[in-house]
Structure 1
Amino acid sequence: MGGISITGATKRGFRAYTLSNYKEIPQIQNFTQEQQEDIGIAARIFPFRVNNYVIDELINWDNVPNDPMFRLTFPNKDMLLPPHYKEMKHLLHTAASEEEVQQAIHKIRLTLNPHPAGQLDKNVPELNGKVLEGMQHKYNETVLFFPTQGQTCHTFCTFCFRWAQFTGMKDLKFASREIETLVSYLQEHPEVKDVLFTGGDPMTMSANLLKRYIEPILEADIRTIENIRIGTKSLSYWPQRFVSDKDSEDILSLFSNVTDHNKHMAIMGHFNHPVELTTDTVKEAIKNIRATGAQIRTQSPLIAHINDDPVIWEQMWREQVRLGCIPYYMFMVRNTGANHYFDTPISKAWEIFQEAYQNVSGLARTVRGPSMSTDPGKINVLGTQEINGEKVFVLEFLQGRDCRWVRKPFFAKYSPTASWLTDLEPAFGKEKFFFENTSTI
């Protein structure tokens, strides 16, 4: 624990704002009635939660509504398709019953692909014939675990591909309290090397709750488990979690305990914009985490209106390396929620990645992307080529439901508008991609 400090950081308490009280945010008082209403209409469909740290230290209110951190955290009317916006506004202006409003909301949400990439029906494992809700096992070496108490976040991202987790759609929510079942599953599946705690955000849990999930894995001494990961946005949205919260020292001690058990502790830090790395609090939080022996790997999707600029990515990767973090992934926005507003064509994404990548040092070139987390696996875009007179995308699997697919290149017809695997067609006259016909492997 040497070198860890929790002094000198802001000790202001956490305060959250949601649909029920967002008009109490001081800066919102300067908005017109229409601007306030538009936030409220969008927040009826998409989850909305923001806290005082984001409001006071990350958003440039002089640049609203164009400020990237504002767009990252406040839903806006353009996230809704025009017919959906019109329907919601009409219902709210005609004093429709709450039942009618909720029926319309549910109907709209179901059109937004609330659980992409086969999460509900293809990734859920079984043990002794019992379906293990709150877990996903898509790739051989990694199990995802969704702790029940971690199914919220300090602030919600407007682009979040797990938005259905936070909207009350209970039949579309992953969560589990059964740590004993997780341990038993890991003991029976030696192919699993990594356990990834995700959500929501596990770092919204208290240190004592988080210990109840992680320490049993350590105590079980499962030799095949090499890495424990935590997917979190807390470094950006509430870095006080590792600095000045009342149990910050206990959180850091837990990380040290993992490394003391000869396991690799990996914090999968979600940073979407360089401004998230600028405060004294986040810099101290990164320093404290690294002092435990844990490493921080950073990832983000490429998000239209927020970070679709190579200069932003270059700045972000450089600063992450300077602070001791490891750039890990540039993702494509998943085909869910308001992806019509946030997504970027594959061709443009590759150009942004390449321009940013070629301007950073080798230490930042650990990053991979642009990558699509699709139903068959994580597909990386290697670029475009012209082969035998046909312009194509060159693609490969970084992860696959079948591990034999990994690093196997394949080709898709070039399209300037395609933004997801489902928008692509096989090149060279083929009817299917190789992974759609397993007999060709």
Structure 2
Amino acid sequence: MNQAGTRRFRAYTSKHLDDLLQRAGLGDEERLKVRAVATVLPFRTNAYVVDELIDWSAAPDDPIYRLVFPQEDMLPAADVARLADLLKAEAPNAEIQAEANRVRAQLNPHPAGQMELNVPRIGVEPVPGMQHKYPETVLFFPKQGQTCHAYCTYCFRWAQFVGDADLKFASDDIGQLVRYLHEHPEVTSVLITGGDAMIMGEPVIRRYIEPLLGVEQLESIRIGTKALAYWPQRFTTDPDADATLELFEQVTESGKNLAFMAHFTHPRELESPLVESAVQRILGSGATIRTQAPMIRSINDDAALWSGMWRRQLRMGMIPYYMFVERDTGPQDYFAVPLARAYEIFRDAYSTISGLCRTVRGPSMSATPGKVCVDGVAEIAGEKVFVLHFIQARDPALVGRPFFARYDPSAVWLTDLRPAFADRFPFEPTGEAALLTA
């Protein structure tokens, strides 16, 4: 096996950032502005990403470089300038962090009401570290899984990684989750997420998974992870790789579906033989691997890239699952693709793949009322409109029912749209409820 397959994990954080930026050929002022952005948005990568995935001869335009390294124009220029001035003046860290926190507060750190609308309760007490947005699915955020092998610059969970306790939600109480599940028999699926659950060692992740095997109503356990792209050695040569796969086998042998929700944002993440080996080992445990990623401007906003990625995933035994729209948080203005363009890219990619790849859905917005899919653009009664439907919804009665929005070529999110042929969208309140929320 090559060196990449045998080396131990090495993380690079903000203290290594300036040296890495020099490798990308950035000058002093450019590096200072990137470091300014990194005081607001988290930075972390590792030796596998740096040495095996990034084409440094193409940096800073290389898509994998842009996927993990901050860019100076991710934030408003005035904010970057203020932070750069503080760094240049070697201002006290408390002063730098105060300014960084001010900028963060403007970036919608918890979209879709994550901290207010999705909070489950046992009795009247809120349960920390969990979200329950859709009746059948609970998300659980293990305390030890609140980091990743590397951070994506577009990540909608960036607020989990900036060291602000008020922005973080996590739990180490698996007993509380089990109690909640017993009180809510409608829940049939638990998604262990973060961060990245696979940053945890096998003994830790076992403590979270094993108690779930005794919850009879559960049909599936999902693990949200980008480890296959950023550190495939987690499943091949890491010291606990074999024990981790034995745990996966234990889950599938219990009669529950173990679903890997694997994030692949660019085809290059699939090219290493290490990824092929890791995928085969996971599939050999009886688990399934479903793939998903957002469409990100300057990284993967290309139909041929998506169709090639889906076809390769299928050949490797994985199931294409979701194309997301970049969420309304963090540097959305930098990365977002207009909904009309996102639909065109999805349609063009979808038209070139076989039926086995057409398990993929999108482009999908994980918005406050639910997952909204853009089905197309049509002309109805002389009006050009977006055709939309809910894949998932807080109100299950809305799932699968088409609705319409006025066509807007610049819209990038659900809140940019206005209803067509109606005074309101079907998820918006009416009567007294509308007055209360106005």
TM over 0.5: yes
Shift of residue 224, structure 1, vs aligned partner: 1.0
Match of 1:388 in 2: 381
Shift of residue 99, structure 1, vs aligned partner: 2.1
Match of 1:431 in 2: 423
In the alignment, which of 43, 50, 56 is matched to residue 61 of structure 1?
A: 56
Cα distance in 1 for residues equivalent to 2:165 and 2:255: 38
Matched, 1:199 2:194: yes
Cα distance in 2 for residues equivalent to 1:349 and 1:388: 24
In the alignment, which of 107, 110, 115 is matched to residue 112 of structure 1?
A: 107
Q: Deviations over 1:188-218 (max 9, x none)?
A: 1110010000000010000000000000111
Aligned CA-pair RMSD: 1.6
Matched, 1:228 2:209: no
Shift of residue 97, structure 1, vs aligned partner: 2.6
In the alignment, which of 156, 162, 170 is matched to residue 167 of structure 1?
A: 162
Does the 8 Å contact 1:377/1:401 carry over to 2?
yes
Cα distance in 1 for residues equivalent to 2:218 and 2:110: 28
Identity, in percent, stands at 53
Does the 8 Å contact 1:9/1:244 carry over to 2?
no
Cα distance in 2 for residues equivalent to 1:392 and 1:437: 22
AA matched with 2:335? F
Matched, 1:272 2:278: no
Cα distance in 2 for residues equivalent to 1:78 and 1:323: 37
AA matched with 1:149? Q
Point out the more displaced range, 333-342 or 430-439.
Answer: 430-439
Cα distance in 2 for residues equivalent to 1:172 and 1:132: 16
Does the 8 Å contact 1:299/1:330 carry over to 2?
yes
Shift of residue 343, structure 1, vs aligned partner: 0.4
SS of structure 2 residue aligned to 1:371 = strand
Residues 1:7 and 1:41: Cα distance change in structure 2 (over 3 Å): closer
AA matched with 1:410? F
Cα distance in 2 for residues equivalent to 1:42 and 1:291: 42
AA matched with 1:33? D
Residues 1:9 and 1:166: Cα distance change in structure 2 (over 3 Å): closer
Cα distance in 1 for residues equivalent to 2:194 and 2:339: 27
Does the 8 Å contact 1:372/1:379 carry over to 2?
yes
Cα distance in 1 for residues equivalent to 2:268 and 2:88: 38
AA matched with 1:431? D
Matched, 1:183 2:193: no
Shift of residue 265, structure 1, vs aligned partner: 0.4
Shift of residue 96, structure 1, vs aligned partner: 2.8
Does the 8 Å contact 2:221/2:256 carry over to 1?
yes
Point out the more displaced range, 80-89 or 380-389.
Answer: 80-89
Cα distance in 2 for residues equivalent to 1:127 and 1:200: 24
Q: Which runs of 4+ in 1 moved over 3 A?
A: 6-9, 23-27
Match of 1:358 in 2: 351
Cα distance in 1 for residues equivalent to 2:25 and 2:153: 22
* 1:286-435 equivalence runs, <5 A: 286-428=279-421, 430-435=422-427
Shift of residue 8, structure 1, vs aligned partner: 9.6
Shift of residue 30, structure 1, vs aligned partner: 4.5
Residues 1:127 and 1:39: Cα distance change in structure 2 (over 3 Å): same
Does the 8 Å contact 1:270/1:300 carry over to 2?
yes
Q: Deviations over 1:49-86 (max 9, x none)?
A: 01000011110111111110000000010111111112
Match of 2:436 in 1: none
Normalising by structure 1, what TM-score? Answer: 0.95
Cα distance in 1 for residues equivalent to 2:26 and 2:205: 40
Match of 1:92 in 2: 87
Cα distance in 1 for residues equivalent to 2:22 and 2:149: 19
SS of structure 2 residue aligned to 1:394 = strand
Shift of residue 25, structure 1, vs aligned partner: 4.1
Does the 8 Å contact 1:270/1:299 carry over to 2?
yes
AA matched with 2:225? T
Matched, 1:261 2:254: yes
Does the 8 Å contact 2:21/2:31 carry over to 1?
no
Match of 2:35 in 1: 40
Cα distance in 2 for residues equivalent to 1:86 and 1:64: 23
AA matched with 2:408? S
Shift of residue 7, structure 1, vs aligned partner: 10
SS of structure 1 residue aligned to 2:409 = coil
Q: Deviations over 1:199-251 (max 9, x none)?
A: 00010000000000000111xx2221000000000000000000000000011
Residues 1:22 and 1:9: Cα distance change in structure 2 (over 3 Å): closer
Cα distance in 1 for residues equivalent to 2:426 and 2:123: 33
Q: Deviations over 1:354-375 (max 9, x none)?
A: 0000001111100000000000
Shift of residue 438, structure 1, vs aligned partner: 6.0
Does the 8 Å contact 2:24/2:59 carry over to 1?
no
In the alignment, which of 231, 237, 243 is matched to residue 236 of structure 2?
A: 243
Point out the more displaced range, 133-142 or 7-16.
Answer: 7-16
Residues 1:243 and 1:8: Cα distance change in structure 2 (over 3 Å): farther
Which structure 1 residue ranges, 5 or more long, are not aligned? 1-5
Does the 8 Å contact 1:27/1:61 carry over to 2?
no
Match of 1:3 in 2: none
Cα distance in 1 for residues equivalent to 2:376 and 2:295: 16
Q: How many residues align?
A: 432
Does the 8 Å contact 2:23/2:56 carry over to 1?
no
